[in-house]
Amino acid sequence: MSADYDITIESKEALKRYVKMGIKPGGFLTAVICNDLLGAIGSADSNNKALIPEYVKYLFNEVPGNCWGSPEAMQTWMEKFR
């Protein structure tokens, strides 16, 4: 059962496209997926900056663990769809 997370609908959709089709999201979500805190903070708007913990909870609970956590994990995941 999917929990409710305080992230934007657009971000949820972008994350779903990434997981299901290997489509790379924008800079903020890419930084979050790659576990790049400095990059996430630097590219987030004021709303998303405060919600970074929600994004991490979403990734941890809702997406496969092997598709996030490092740039290498993201690259390997996206390569599966080429």
* pLDDT tens-place string over residues 4-23: 899 999 999 999 999 999 99
1 — pLDDT class (breaks 50, 70, 90):
very low
Residues in contact with 9: Cβ distance below 8 Å, sequence separation at least 6, in sequence order: none
Residues in contact with 53: Cβ distance below 8 Å, sequence separation at least 6, in sequence order: none
Domain edges within the chain: 9-79
Q: What is the pTM of this model?
A: 0.92
Say how many C-beta atoms besides its own lie within 10 A of residue 57's C-beta. Answer: 15
Q: How far is CA 68 from the centre of its chain?
A: 7
Interval 65-80: pLDDT, tens: 999 999 999 999 999 9
